[in-house]
Amino acid sequence: MSQPKGTGNFKFKAEVNQLLNILVHSLYSNREIFLRELVANASDALDKLRFQQLQGAEVEDLPLQIDITCDPGNKTLTVADSGVGMTREEMVQNLGTIAHSGTAEFVKNLSESTSAEQTRDIIGQFGVGFYSVFMVADEVAVTSKSVNDDEPAYTWKSNGQGSFSVSPVEGEVGRGTTIRISLKEDATEFAQPDRVKSTIRRHSGFVSFPVMVDGEKVNTVAALWREPKFQITREQYDEFYQALTYDTEAPLDVIHLSADAPIQFNSLFFVPKTSHDLLMGGYQGQHGVDLYVRRILIQHQNKDVLPEYLGFLRGVVDSEDLPLNISRETLQENLLLQKISRQVTKQVLSHLQKLATNNSETYEEIWNQHGKIFKLGYTDFVNKDAFAELLRFNSSHFDDDKGLTSLDDYISRMKEEQDEIYFLAGQSRQAVISSPHLEMLRRKGVEVLYLFEPIDEFVMDAVGTHKEYKLVSAEHADPAKLDKLPDTEEAEAAEQLSDEQHATFEGLLSRMKDILGARVTEVRESKRLKDSPIVLVSPDGSMTSSMQKIMRVMSHDESTPPRVMEVNPDNELVRNLLRMYEKDKQDPFVTLATEQLFESAMLLDGYLEDPHGLVNRVRQTLTEATKGKAE
Ligand code: ADP
Ligand code: MG
C-alpha cells in the first residue's frame, strides 16, 4: 500500500496546440467570420489612433482606412490598417497570449475622466478573435509599426500550431498593421475579390472607417441606427432600408429606438409595404432582424429580439453590452438579449399605438398587410393591453370590409346599458351577416365585430376582456340581457300566441325532438330570433361553433357536436306548421319540414354529411307545394 501524498496546489496544464485547435474550430460556426474579426481589430486600431489624436498626440497624417488586397495567384489575402500598430513587445503579448486582449487593457487604462462616448466604438475585448484567422490560414505574417515608438517595424509569424517567431523588418514601414494570410488549400476562395467583398458587406458593412477591397470602397452605407434621430431624413431611412432588404418599395413606417439604461441598444426597424417576401419565402425562415455589436454583424435574421408576431418588421439591433464573440447557441440563452427583447417589444408596441392614434390611415395599411402575423401576439400576456388596443376588426358598423374598428372605438359606440363586446365568426361577411345569431343584436342596434380567420377566436379568447368589457360571441349572447335594451328597428310585432296555442307549440317542440332524436340535445322556443324559423345553438356555455370546428379538425374528430335547436314561434313557416300539427299530431309534412329545417341549418354550419336526403326532401316539398297551386 502506498502512503497518501500531502495536499498541494496545482496549475492547469494546457497543450497549446490542442487548445488552439479547439479555439479555432469550435468558436465560430462559420469560417468567413475570420474577416469580420480582422476588420474589427483594424477598426479598433484606427479608433485608438483617432483617440490619441483627440488627446493631442502628433501623428503622421495618413488616411484612416482599412485596405484589403486579394492575390488569387499567390493564394494570399492581406488586411492592412493605418491604426496605432504594435511594438515588438505588444505583438508578443497580444498575439502570443491566448485570451489576452490588448484592447480591453487599453479601455481599462483610459483615465476615469474619459467618457464612455469616446470608446463606444471599440469592439475587441476577449483576445480570441485574432486566432480565428487560422481557420483559413496556413501561415500568417503580421507586420506592425507602432505609432508610439521609434523602434523599427517587426513581423510576427505563425502557422497556428503552437509557436511563433518575431523578426525586425528591413527598410521603411509606415504606421499601422499589415496582416498577410497564406490561405489553406480549401480556403482559396478568400483570395477572390467578390467573395471577400460580399463577406465584408455582410458582416462589416457598417464599420465606421472605409473598408477598401482592391481599392474599391465596400462599406458605402452609414450605420444609420447609431446616429441621432433628428439628423436623419426620411430619404436616408428609405435608402438604408432598401440597401438592407433589397425591397424596391419604400417602407410604410420607420421605428428608430435607442436606450442607454438599463441596457444600451440602438435599433432601427421598418414596416415593409408588402408582406409578400415573408409569406412566399416561408414566414418561418425569413423573418428576423440583423443583430450587431458595435456595428459588427453577429447574427443575420435573429429571431430572439423581436417576438414572432412582430416578425413582419425588418431591421437592425445593435448593442454595446453584448459580447462580440458569442455563438448562435449561447445567444438564445443570453439574458441581456432577453432584456433587450422585452424593452424593444414594449417600445415597438407603444410606437405603433402612437401611430394608430396620430396617423390611423398608415396604421390601417400596416394592419391590412401584416395584421395576420400580428394576431399571433395573443400569446404575449405581458403586453396584453397594448396588443388588444392594436387589434383591428371588421364590423357591422361598416357597410363593407374596408372599414376597420379598434376595440376602443367599438366601446365608444356601445349602447347605454350594454356591458359586453359582441363578435361573430364565419367564413365571410356574407356568411356572418346571414347568421340567425345576429337577429336580436341587430334589432337592438348593437354592433358586432366580424371575424373571418380561424385565429380570431383564439385572439378573442386570450384577450377575454377589454377595459372591463367582456368579449362575447353572438352565439353566446344572453337574450335576457339583450332584451333589456330598447329596440331600434321598427319591429312588426307578430301577434302573440294565446295560452292555448302556446301549449300546442310546446307539443310541436317535443314532436320535433322526437323526429330529430339524438341529433339534437334539446328543441326549445327561441328568444333571440326575429326572422329565421330556427337556429342551432351550442348547449349553454360550450364553445362557439367555429371554435368547435377548429378543435374537431385538430383532433380529427368527425362526429357532429351536440346542438340545441331553437324555434321561432313568430315565424310564418313555424305558424303554418303549428296549425298543421294542431289538426294532425302525426302530419307527415311536419316531419318532412322539421328534417328539412334542421338539415338546412347544418348545411349552413358546414356539417351536412349527406346531401341526398336533403335534395330528395326539397323535391318532395316542391311536389307538395305545386300540387295545391296546380289544382
Ligand atoms: P480582442 O480584439 O478581443 O482584444 P483579438 O484576438 O482580436 O482580441 O486581438 C488581440 C489583441 O491584438 C487586440 O486586443 C489588440 O491589442 C491586438 N491587435 C490585433 N489586431 C491589431 C491591429 N490590426 N492593430 C493593432 N493591434 C491589434
Ligand atoms: Mg478582436
Residue nearest to atom 21 of ligand 1 (CA): 41
User: Using a 6 Å cutoff on CB, does residue 125 contact ligand 1?
Assistant: yes
Helix-, strand-, coil-residue percentages of the chain, each rounded to 5: 45, 15, 40
CA–CA separation, 93 vs 99, rounded Å? Answer: 10
Question: Which runs of E-coded beta strand occur in 324-397?
Answer: 394-395
Q: How many C-beta atoms surround the C-beta of residue 203 within 10 A?
A: 22
Q: Taking residues 485-496, what's their average pLDDT?
A: 73
Q: How many C-beta atoms surround the C-beta of residue 313 within 10 A?
A: 24
Tell how strand 469-473 and strand 522-525 pair up.
unpaired
What letter represents residue 513's amino acid? Answer: K
pLDDT in tens, 502-524: 999 999 999 999 999 999 999 99
User: Using a 6 Å cutoff on CB, does residue 86 contact ligand 1?
Assistant: yes
With cut-offs at 50, 70 and 90, classify the pLDDT of residue 434. Answer: confident
User: Using a 6 Å cutoff on CB, does residue 91 contact ligand 1?
Assistant: no
pLDDT in tens, 518-549: 999 999 998 888 888 999 887 766 677 777 77
User: Using a 6 Å cutoff on CB, does residue 79 contact ligand 1?
Assistant: no
For the chain, what are the domain ranges? 8-217, 224-359, 391-482, 499-630
CA–CA separation, 540 vs 94, rounded Å? Answer: 75
CA of residue 125 to ligand 1 center, whole Å: 9
pLDDT in tens, 217-232: 999 888 999 999 999 9
User: Using a 6 Å cutoff on CB, does residue 288 contact ligand 1?
Assistant: no
CA–CA separation, 460 vs 612, rounded Å? Answer: 37
| Cell numbers given for 226 | 447609431
**In this structure, which ligand is nearest to the CA of 104?**
1
Phi, psi of 147 (to 5 degrees): -75, -20
pLDDT over 90 for what percent of the chain? Answer: 54
105 pLDDT above the threshold of 80? no
User: Best of 35, 84, 101 to mutate for ligand 1, by most ligand atoms within 8 A of CB?
Assistant: 101
Determine the pLDDT at residue 365.
Answer: 97
CA–CA separation, 413 vs 447, rounded Å? Answer: 8
Strand partners, 154: 144, 168
Cα 438 from chain centre: 35
| Cell numbers given for 313 | 418588421
User: Best of 41, 86, 146, 325 to mutate for ligand 1, by most ligand atoms within 8 A of CB?
Assistant: 41
Determine the pLDDT at residue 540.
Answer: 64
With cut-offs at 50, 70 and 90, classify the pLDDT of residue 278. Answer: very low
Residue nearest to atom 27 of ligand 1 (CA): 41
CA–CA separation, 85 vs 155, rounded Å? Answer: 12
Give how far Cα 571 sits from Cα of 71, 230, 280, 520, Å: 90, 67, 50, 21
Determine the pLDDT at residue 282.
Answer: 46
Which CATH number is associated with domain 391-482? 3.40.50.11260
Q: Taking residues 83-108, what's their average pLDDT?
A: 82
Domain 224-359 = CATH 3.30.230.80? yes
CA of residue 192 to ligand 2 center, whole Å: 23
| Cell numbers given for 494 | 307578430
**In this structure, which ligand is nearest to the CA of 27?**
1
Residue 570 DSSP class: T
279 pLDDT above the threshold of 50? no
With cut-offs at 50, 70 and 90, classify the pLDDT of residue 246. Answer: confident
User: Using a 6 Å cutoff on CB, does residue 103 contact ligand 1?
Assistant: yes
3-class state of residue 335 by DSSP: helix
CA–CA separation, 425 vs 427, rounded Å? Answer: 7
Instruction: Give the homologous superfamily in CATH for domain 8-217.
Output: Histidine kinase-like ATPase, C-terminal domain (3.30.565.10)
pLDDT in tens, 9-36: 777 766 667 777 776 666 666 788 899 9
User: Using a 6 Å cutoff on CB, does residue 293 contact ligand 1?
Assistant: no
Q: Which residue has the higher pLDDT, 24 or 474?
A: 474
3-class state of residue 168 by DSSP: strand
DSSP string computed for 227-289: S-GGG--HHHHHHHHHHHH--SSPPSEEEEEEE-SSS-EEEEEEE-S--HHHHHT-HHHH--E
**In this structure, which ligand is nearest to the CA of 106?**
1
Instruction: Give the homologous superfamily in CATH for domain 499-630.
Output: Heat shock protein 90, C-terminal domain (1.20.120.790)
CA–CA separation, 183 vs 460, rounded Å? Answer: 60
pLDDT in tens, 554-591: 777 777 777 899 999 999 999 999 999 999 999 999 99
Cα 280 from chain centre: 16
User: Using a 6 Å cutoff on CB, does residue 177 contact ligand 1?
Assistant: yes
What letter represents residue 37's amino acid? Answer: E
Check if the beta carbon of residue 156 is closer than 8 Å to that of residue 144: yes
Exposed (0-12), middle (13-18) or buried (19+): which is 200, by Cβ within 10 Å?
A: buried
CA of residue 631 to ligand 2 center, whole Å: 100
pLDDT in tens, 86-98: 999 999 988 887 6
